């Protein structure tokens, strides 16, 4: 059973999206329960745990970006798919790890593609990519998505992960070559970061969702920002591209 929420202050588009989702799930023989909300505050007051949320950005009172920030503080895994009239919110959407981004007017084919990707990614999450390291705390296996960044420090590599920081013997170039195919980039000669966790880029600084501030060297600035924008463009439908 899939729990899906739709939040949009436009009643017509709310019902249109609800009808499309119901048609898709009927064709795919997928059992669903759909909850609809006309205000972001109503969605936030719900006690249900959703698998997928279709969320309008421009709403009265509390907009979709602010609603998503609250949702993300409580649920790191729900797939948030933005449905909006404008295409200039993609950077804001990425900061709250939006799974998808659909511009209005949307088509049935577009919604089907979003649902296909969300359901497929949910299946993939059950088989997360892991790496095993010989660390200062012994042999440690980490999920790829649990790593914020690597830092070269005092001839060691520090792995800054969600649970704690580990140290390994390796070079930052080896780390970069190993992890670049998985959505990591090198903004500075001492750092390799997980693009998935970029919250913002301002000037020569990258802020991660963990709160860490990572420098961007002038030498690498153009290439790094190009890599990030490419990642941003290609990964709204998959949080990290395998």
Exposed, middle or buried by CB within 10 Å (0-12, 13-18, 19+), for 175?
A: buried
DSSP 15: H
**Alpha-carbon span 46 to 225, nearest angstrom:** 38
pLDDT digits (tens, 9 = 90+) for 66-118: 999 999 888 888 899 998 886 655 556 556 678 888 888 899 999 999 999 98
Q: HSE-up of 161 (CA within 13 Å, CB side)? A: 20
pLDDT digits (tens, 9 = 90+) for 163-201: 999 999 999 999 999 898 888 999 999 999 999 899 889
Q: What phi, psi does 191 have (nearest 5°)?
A: -135, 140
CB 110 within 8 A of CB 101: no
The residue to which tokens 């609809």 are assigned: 36
Domains and CATH numbers, the chain: 2-125 (3.40.50.2300), 130-226 (2.40.50.1020)
């Amino acid at each position: 059973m899939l729990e899906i929420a739709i939040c949009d202050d436009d009643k017509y588009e709310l019902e249109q999206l609800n009808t499309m989702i119901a048609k898709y799930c009927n064709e795919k023989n997928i059992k669903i329960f759909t909850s609809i909300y006309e205000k972001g505050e109503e969605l936030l007051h719900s006690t249900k745990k959703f698998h997928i949320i279709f969320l309008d950005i421009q709403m009265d009172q509390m907009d979709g970006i602010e609603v998503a920030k609250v949702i993300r503080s409580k649920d790191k895994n729900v797939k948030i798919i933005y449905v909006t009239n404008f295409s200039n919110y993609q950077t804001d959407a990425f900061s709250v790890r939006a799974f998808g981004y659909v511009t209005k007017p949307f088509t049935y084919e577009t919604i089907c593609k979003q649902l296909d990707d969300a359901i497929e990614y949910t299946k993939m999450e059950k088989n997360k990519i892991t790496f095993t390291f010989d660390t200062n705390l012994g042999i440690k296996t980490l999920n790829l998505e649990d790593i914020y960044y690597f830092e070269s420090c005092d001839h060691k590599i520090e792995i800054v992960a969600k649970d704690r920081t580990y140290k390994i013997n390796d070079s930052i170039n080896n780390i970069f070559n190993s992890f670049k195919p998985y959505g990591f980039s090198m903004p500075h000669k001492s750092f390799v970061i997980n693009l998935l966790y970029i919250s913002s880029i301002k000037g020569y600084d990258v802020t991660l969702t963990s709160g860490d501030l990572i420098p961007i060297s002038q030498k690498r600035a153009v290439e790094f920002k190009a890599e990030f924008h490419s990642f941003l463009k290609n990964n709204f439908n998959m949080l990290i591209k395998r």
